[in-house]
Amino acid sequence: MQAQVKSFLNGLRIFQQSLCFAAFLGMAGCLMYDVLKREITGSGAFGAPQVGVIGMIVVSYIGVGLASASGSHYRPRFADTVFPQKYHDLLDRIGEFGFALFCAFMAYVAAMVTLESVELNDVSPVLRWPIWPVQSTIAVGFGMVAVQHFLYGVFMELRPKPSGEGAELANEKQADEIVHGHDDYDRERAAKAKGQTS
Amino acid sequence: MTAVAGVALPIVLVGLLFLRQNIVVLLGVGTFAAYYFWGGGEIMNVVYDMWDASNREVLLSVPLYILAGSIMSQGSIAERLINLMKALMKPIPGGLALSSLMACGIFAAISGSSIVTLLAVGSIMYPALIKAGYDRKFAIGMLCAGGTLGIIIPPSIPLILYGIMTQASIADLFVAGIGPGLTLLGAFMLYSLMLNWQRDRGGWWSLREIWGALKESVWSLLTPFVILGGIYSGYFTPTESAAVAVLTAILVEILAHKHGFMHLVRGNLGEFGHTCNDMGKLIWRVVGETSTMMGSLFPILAVALSLNVFMTYQQIPNQIVEWLTGYIDSKVMFLILVNLLLLVVGCFLDSGSAILILSPLLPPMAQTYGIDLVHFGIIMNVNLEIGYLTPPMGINLIVAMGAFKEEFLTIVKGVLPFIFIMLAVLWVISIYPPLSLFMIK
């Protein structure tokens, strides 16, 4: 069972990262195109910043799941030592269920707001596109995170190691990757070049 | 009912803190409760506010600056800048330390993040400093302190967040960060020079070496000029500048540093394809990291802005200001108390969260004491910058511990002298506004 849940969580993470990657490229691409077009033709691309904002909203709310998968949510830790060590596992488990509950509630309220937008036919002021598909990413993003943390609460071994240092570093291993990443990059490149020569 | 809720809410929030809940939960529960009990039960307004908070063009600059900084640090731009600084500082005693600080300063002008600056420079310079015989405590303390320049020398992500929360001009905040940032850099360099004055020089300047390093880094040097020059001249908005930064970083890495341009000119399309493929892998990795950071920061930002809307509607900041002005009768007393408060907050919260939580309350108070909104933003930022170096939640300390495999206590001892320097500079920045505002029209 745990192996199946693990592969489900892995699949979810890959799905979230792929979605974020596509939205991020869309966002950055729109803004770059806007600036380049303005430089070349003298006028920017119509609606490009607004499309960029849509990309950012998708990245932000789907990215909540990536932050969960790498234990990167910001959490005040100064109260962690108030209870004795023997209660820490229990507190961690309650913490996971608590976060899952909060995210489920958030997803529910966001879904209500999205449905209201559908009923009212709300459109974006510049692009004149319906806003509900983008608004729904808040509900979908928090909904996925609720499932993730519920599963972490049930299968504590699958929880990511909390980073403690915010988002940039998920853990010590990631720190290593960042510090030595460039070397690896060059090594990979050199190995490829060698392979081609031989 | 509302009176009971007023008593119960703080107890619930403390309970959630003990139950290891994230900041977004603490803020979210507080905001939902505020709307439910004191806002006519309209809890859907929280999500409407979050939507309005997210749906802003100015926020686009945050992920793009993070992405640009990550591409530059994990590519070769940072390394080339460091090599140039090393060549320039060679004949000065303790030149390697000075070149590390200079590199932090220049990289800070590209990246808006403290950790990215620390890792970009530290990963290259820390082993070099240890090999050259520098004291471990000094070396790691200096790099941690140098890393904090990332959020004071513009572009700066906490300053963008402050601008969003207070409606202060982000371009003005960026300009105001230059003076304090350079003062801090100068103070760090002076301390480093005094401490290493007896150290052997690394030989005289070699024109050949400087020319070689300059040739290698000319494209890297162009990047901060494009980013900052564009903003300060008014040619780009901060958001456009962030997009240009990403574009510049990608083009410099592919075309100049990986020789993509030469491959194209020679018609070596296979090699050019490999270069693009490598860059694609790098972008996939750094976009993942940036999305993760966005996922942890943006929900907090959105919920904090919702709480901000609620508090403004209920005129809570005005009431607090009126109440406090009855007790604090001078600007200096206010500055002392605010600085102490922010230093304590900085020990427990990261700068972004602290700015989001405190911005609705402190800046209106500062304005009643005649403190400029932009100047106060710089005071807040420098204060919280010190929080990156203070335990238990000093982010740079934890990153350095993981990245450079040093004991936490060694790092804490190493940063202590730099914290004192920063406190002295903070006081100068607080009482001398022209240091921040001299370039603002």
Chain A residue whose CA is closest to B400: A175
Q: Pick A98's closest partner by Cβ from B21, B79, B349.
A: B21
In three-state secondary structure terms, A17 is: helix
List all residues 6 or more positions away from A162 whose beta carbon is below 8 Å from its beta carbon: A71, A75
Q: Pick A74's closest partner by Cβ from B353, B398, B403.
A: B353
| CA A99 – CA B102 distance, rounded (Å) | 43
> Is pLDDT larger for residue B435 or for residue B93?
B435
Which pLDDT score is estimated for A143? 96
Query: Which candidate, B251, B222, B284, B228, places its Cα nearest to that of B80?
Result: B222
Contact B291 A109 (CB under 8 A): no
Which pLDDT score is estimated for A69? 92
Which pLDDT score is estimated for B80? 83
pLDDT digits (tens, 9 = 90+) for A160-196: 876 543 333 333 444 444 344 444 434 444 454 455 4
pLDDT digits (tens, 9 = 90+) for B113-138: 787 788 878 877 888 888 888 899 99
In the block, which residue shows the tokens 């499309």?
A51
Q: Which two tokens stand for residue B207?
A: 């024109």
pLDDT digits (tens, 9 = 90+) for B35-75: 999 888 889 999 999 998 888 887 888 888 888 878 877 77
Which pLDDT score is estimated for A186? 43
Contact between B178 and B154 under an 8 Å Cβ cutoff? The reply is: yes
DSSP A133-191: HHHHHHHHHHHHHHHHHHHHHHSGGGSPPP-SS-SS-SSHHHHHHHHHHHHHHHHHHHH
- In percent, the amount of chain A with pLDDT more than 70 equals 81
Domain ranges of chain A: 2-167, 168-198
CA atoms within 13 A on the CB side of B121: 38
Residue B154 predicted with pLDDT over 90 = no
Q: Pick A24's closest partner by Cβ from B26, B282, B287.
A: B287
In three-state secondary structure terms, A123 is: strand
- Residue B395: list chain A partners with CB under 8 A: 165-166
Count the Cβ atoms, other than its own, within 10 Å of residue B405. 12
- CB-based contact (8 Å) between B407 and chain A? no
Which pLDDT score is estimated for A117? 93
In the block, which residue shows the tokens 């600080």?
B101
Triad A133, B53, A62: Cα angle to 5°:
45
Q: What are phi and psi of A123, to 5 degrees?
A: -125, 155
Contact between B159 and B381 under an 8 Å Cβ cutoff? The reply is: yes
DSSP B361-410: THHHHHHHTT--HHHHHHHHHHHHHHGGGSSSS-HHHHHHHHHHT--HHH
| CA A5 – CA A7 distance, rounded (Å) | 5
Contact between B303 and B27 under an 8 Å Cβ cutoff? The reply is: yes
A196: left (phi > 0), else alpha (psi -120 to 50), else beta? alpha
Residue A93 predicted with pLDDT over 80 = yes
Average pLDDT over residues B1-27: 87
Q: Which two tokens stand for residue A65?
A: 């799941």
| CA A72 – CA B215 distance, rounded (Å) | 39
Look up residue B209 and give its amino acid.
Answer: E
Look up residue B339 and give its amino acid.
Answer: N
Beta-bridged to residue A123, according to DSSP, are A130
Q: Which of A50-64, B89-103, B232-246, B298-312 has the highest mean predicted lDDT (pLDDT)?
A: A50-64
Q: Pick A92's closest partner by Cβ from B20, B113, B274.
A: B20
Rg value, chain B, Cα: 23
Average pLDDT over residues B222-238: 77
pLDDT digits (tens, 9 = 90+) for A4-46: 999 999 999 999 999 999 999 999 899 888 888 888 888 888 8
- Residue A70: list chain B partners with CB under 8 A: 292
Average pLDDT, chain A: 82
Average pLDDT over residues B337-366: 85
Contact B63 A59 (CB under 8 A): yes
Residues 231-260 of B with CB under 8 A from A: 236, 239-240, 242-244, 246-247
B376, B378, B381, B382: CA torsion to nearest 10: -110
pLDDT digits (tens, 9 = 90+) for B183-226: 999 999 999 999 988 876 767 778 888 888 888 888 878 877 77
Average pLDDT, chain B: 85
Please return the burial class of B251, using the count of CB atoms within 10 Å of its CB with bins 0-12, 13-18 and 19+: middle
Which pLDDT score is estimated for A166? 37
